[in-house]
Copies of this chain bind each other. A is one copy, B any other.
Amino acid sequence: MSALDLIKQAKAASVTLGLLTTEQKNEILKTVSVLLTSRSEEILVANHLDLKLAKDSGVSQSLQDRLALSVERIDSLKFALAELINLNDPIGELVRDITRPNGLSIKEVRVPFGLIGAIYEARPNVTIDIAGMAIKTGNAIILRGGSMAENTNKVLVSILKEAFQTNGHNPNAIASVDEYGREGAEVMMKATGLIDVLIPRGSANLIKTVVEESKVPVIQTGDGIVHIFLDATAKLEYALEIVTNAKVQRPSVCNALETLLVHKDAADRLLVPVLEKLAANGVVIRGDQRVRKVFPSALEATEEDWATEYLSLEISVKVVDSFEEAIEHIAQYSTSHTESIITEDAKNAEEFLARVDSAVVMVNASTRFTDGGEFGFGAEVGVSTQKLHARGPMGLPELTSTKWLVRGTGQSRA
């Protein structure tokens, strides 16, 4: 069977999946959870094989860490599934309800997309994570995981299919194109009319490739050159706490801080304590001339630094002459993910919120809050950095479309 045939089968299966009740969908999720335990040995053996091959090919420690499953990690997948079962099902929600003067009833209701495609890297937890969200929203799903996780994903997909079958549903609704290698991803990106939306998850490079090559509509996620601006009136206490939290707590994720901008009138007061705290937490600091003058151990920041998402314990720091210059720097270098201002000036706070064109704009809060869980969504598909369909943290409703139901009594148009 070709990759395209798998996709066609999944599309066909999506029709009945979309009509399942919330209870039926939750039953599938419960079965997945049960199977993750009963087939855990099989998962761990396959994962061990993937890990061994990864080590042998000299893959970095951090990639190996993302690839590795354990009993504890399987438990946390089960925990996420349990949370998903408890979340509201967005399908069927009435979005708009119009009655026209001619008596037509026009209702917009939430429906599944149909068939979702997910292209991601060698993180087997994403397989269960995104398939779980697809099931909850009544969407069929085609998966393409990183080739390094192929053996693990094969077991996980077989578990997902078994959960469909056990509950009397068509297992074609979920499938992986991993066995077709890179060609599988290419077929997915060309499957217009079959795949309704493609979600790439992973590195900036992976996402860029999918955005550029896909003929299917894509939701662009991740990719965060995230800024904090310490305004002239910023409280030292807030600056210390928020900057450190945003940079240090989990530097490898997209909502972590990458560039710190400091108003020149606050530089004498804030720069040294803030940078000392960062340095004490192991952060490598790259600053412009004015930063290095007061904090000589900082390395020199180059033009490239302002455009770099470090995803590590590194930060670029710049002193700006004005609020205006901060806004302009952000407009030039931001990836429109998350920006935060630390200020006691209410006017500047509101102007920052209005003028910075990012998915999430904050005042006096850590950029690490840009997250579906922290927004109270319960589950997160990713953080959309595009403006079409979804922006910012995406929860279950972002995995749906709508359709219009028009009920008449013989009306025709005048």
Contact = CB atoms under 8 A, between A and B. Distances in A.
Interface in A386-412: 386-389, 391-393, 401-412
Chain A interface size range:
35 or more
Given A98-B376, A387-B197, A403-B391, A363 B192 contact: no
Nearest to A386: B217
A365 B407 contact: yes
Contacts of A196: 386-388
Interface stretch (A22-30, A234-242, A265-273): A234-242
A353 interface: yes
Contact of A404 (B106, B197, B349, B361): B361
A245 B412 contact: yes
A403 B410 contact: no
Contacts of A244: 412
- For A19, A211, A235, A369, the residue with the greatest tally of chain B CB atoms inside 10 Å of its CB is A369
Given A19-B355, A197-B388, A412 B366 contact: yes
Given A98-B375, A211-B215, A354-B19, A104 B369 contact: yes
Given A197-B388, A388-B197, A388-B389, A369 B411 contact: yes
Given A354-B19, A355-B19, A387-B113, A362 B406 contact: yes
A358 interface: yes
Given A114-B357, A412-B246, A365 B406 contact: yes
A353 B409 CA distance: 15
- Most chain B CB within a 10 A radius of its CB, from A235, A376, A403: A403
A408 B363 CA distance: 6
Copies in the complex: 2
Given A237-B410, A388-B401, A404-B361, A100 B366 contact: no
Contacts of A370: 404, 406
Contact of A413 (B106, B353, B366, B387): B366
A241 B401 contact: no
B100 A404 contact: no
Contacts of A19: 354-355
Nearest to A246: B412
A359 B403 contact: yes
A361 B111 CA distance: 13
A374 to B, nearest CB: 7
Interface in A210-252: 211-212, 215, 217-219, 235, 237-238, 241-242, 244-246, 249
A15 B355 CA distance: 7
B376 A401 contact: no
A160 B372 CA distance: 42
A59 interface: no
A111 B366 CA distance: 23
A331 interface: yes
Contact of A369 (B217, B235, B354, B406): B406
A154 interface: no
20 contacts: A19-B354, A98-B376, A100-B374, A192-B211, A192-B212, A217-B217, A242-B412, A244-B412, A357-B403, A358-B403, A359-B404, A360-B404, A361-B403, A361-B405, A364-B410, A365-B407, A365-B412, A366-B412, A388-B388, A391-B402
Q: Nearest 3 pairs between A and B by C-beta?
A: A365-B408, A245-B412, A387-B401
